[in-house]
Each structure stands twice: as structure tokens, then as C-alpha cells.
Amino acid sequence: MGGLGVQRGPYNPPAMTTHTAEANPFPMAAMPLADIHALVADDMRGVDALIRRRLASDVLLINQVAEHIIAAGGKRLRPALLLLAARSLGFTGGSAHQLAAVIEFIHTATLLHDDVVDESDLRRGRKTANALWGNAASVLVGDFLYSRSFQLMVELEQLPVMRILADTTNAIAEGEVLQLLHVHNPDTDETAYLRVVERKTAVLFAAATRLGAVLAGAATDVQQALHDFGLNLGFAFQIADDVLDYTADPQALGKNLGDDLAEGKATMPLIHALRHSPADVKQRLRTIIEQGDAAAFPEVLAAIRACGGIEYSRQLAGTYAERAMAAIAALPNSNALDALRGLASYSVARDR
């Protein structure tokens, strides 16, 4: 693909070593999360207002599901990344709000579809849309969000923007199919796992930060730097998220621990255990993955801890966060750039 699109190809994970301590290897950056939120608070209020306006429909069910999604809240991390990337290069304005809303619409559409595919009934501590209105409504409202996001992006009349977002949504769809192919597959290895993470999660982070640079009229190398930042941040965020599925407080996480296991998904902690466990444990783990045996969660967690799977995964997430910060090391310092660095640290230090 061209320089403005989604980069493809195999992703080579960094060489890692297993650690024995469970302390997070990547400390929080100097800028607290509250300060990061404060920096874009006014912009985010503008984005939220735009989201509410543009979600409105004369179809009652769309409004009901949309209101449920908005009320659920969420981190709004992806639109914040776009706003911070643009601001780090001196750009603010309505088009940033509009693209930030586009990013959030795309992300929310993927969540609606994911919950149907995964048969999830809980997200952010609330019933999922499919649990309340059924699978058909969730899929169709997800489609509405996708189409509304394209209406918003077309209004900006910027071909590079449309190309990035078209490539990104296509890659996300590929990631969904790739993940489906690996469900209940105990032979999923680290490379296959990272390829799914790249398409399902990291490409949208990369699109958000690159689009901020595009809006600012930045040079190609600056656009690439922010793309690389977002891509690596996406890897860090998702790997850390998969660790939380085994270690978090369920109430803080807002979903049931072991959901990935119940869905037959082998994420990084479990993949590491499959690679390093004794033969009898490895065979047992394979059976659990094939069956999606949620009741075996304590047994799986014990196997993961025994071989350092939690520590390995956290260290891997930390390495991607370091790569993210290295990608923007040459950009001019600003509060917005400090906030991006802070989000890189937050991505692996968070507990929910």
C-alpha cells in the first residue's frame, strides 16, 4: 500500500526474556492521566456533542442502541489520540473533532460486531447491546455506525483521509476474520496472535495518530512517525488488555475474567504457557482451548503463572510502548507530545 495507507506484512516480535517478578516493567510517565484528560477536555466535549448529533436517526431502535453505547462511556482513547497528535503539530479545529468522531464510530461499530461474534453479554460493567436487543439489532446498528462514519469523512473532502480510513476499516475486517480462524485453535503462535492484534486493534490507533498529522499538513516523515507511534501503542494496549483478562479485578474491568478463554482465544499469556509448559500441562491446555472451558480458568492461570506468562506479556507490552515513544522522539516537545508519551505508559500500567 502507499505511504498514507495501512502497512501490511508479517510483524516480527522483539526478542524477550522471561521475568519472575510481577511488578509492571513500565512505570507511569511524568504526566498523570488526569492531566492528559484535562488537556483535551474541551475538544472531547466538542467531539461528544458531535457524536450525539450525528448518531441521531428517525429510526427509534438506532437511537436506543446509540444512547446505550454513549451512556456506557469508555476511555475515548482513540479520538483523544487523534486530537493530541494534531495538537502536537499545532492544529486544532472542527475537522479534528469530526475525524475524532469518525474514529470513535468505527471503534464502536467493531465493539458491537465483536460482542455478537463472541456472544458477550457484559462490557464496561453493563449489558451488551446484543444481550438487550439481540444479535440482529447489534449487527445492523454497527453497520449504521460504519456508514455514518463514512458520511462524516466524505464531508471533509480530503482524499488522503478517506484512503487511510478505507484501508483501516478493511484491515480491521481482515483482523476479525483472522481471529475467527484462530478461535479454539491451540496452534495459534505468537506471530499469528500479533498479526490479529495488528489488524484488529493497532491499525485504528495508527490511523488516529496519522490522521492528526495529516490534518496538520505535516511532512510525510512526521506522518510516518505518528503512524508508528500509534501502531506500537495499539500493540502495547491490546497485549496489556489480554493480560488483564487473567489478572484484573472483574468489577474494575467491567467484564468477566476468562472471557477470552471461554471464547477459545489463545492470547499472549496462554500462548507463552503453551510454548513453555511441560508436555502433560501443554496437552491439557490444548484441550481447554479446543473446548473453550471457562471452568478451567484457575487451572489455566496457574499454568500461565508457573511459566512466567504474565510477566512475559507485560514485558512485551512495555517493549511496544517503548517503541511507540521512540517513534516520536524527534518531534518538537509540547504538552500534547508529553500527553502522547503518557498514554504510552498508561497503556501498560492500567488496571482496567
pLDDT of residue 5: 39
| Contact indicator for 233, 344 with CB cutoff of 8 Å | yes
pTM for the whole structure: 0.88
| pLDDT above 90 as % of the chain | 67
- Rounded to an integer, what distance in angstroms lies between the CA atom of residue 259 and that of residue 255? 8
Residue 36 vs residues 48, 209, 330, 343, 344: alpha-carbon distances, Å: 17, 16, 21, 8, 12
What is the chain's mean pLDDT, rounded?
87
Is the per-residue pLDDT at 94 higher than 70? yes
In this structure, which CATH number among 3.40.190.10, 2.60.40.10, 3.40.640.10, 1.10.600.10 belongs to the domain 33-349?
Answer: 1.10.600.10
pLDDT of residue 18: 35
Q: What is the pLDDT of residues 168-214, one digit of tens each?
A: 999 999 999 999 999 999 999 999 999 999 999 999 999 999 999 99
The band of 157, judged by pLDDT with boundaries at 50, 70 and 90, is very high
More confident residue, 23 or 139: 139
Q: What is the pLDDT of residues 298-331, one digit of tens each?
A: 999 999 999 999 999 999 999 999 999 999 999 9
Q: What is the pLDDT of residues 63-72, one digit of tens each?
A: 888 878 777 7
Show the CA angle centred on residue 195, arms to residues 189 and 198, nearest 5°.
140
Burial track 62-80 (b if 16+ CB lie within 10 A, e otherwise): beebbebbeebeeebbbbb
Grid cell for residue 143 = 453497520
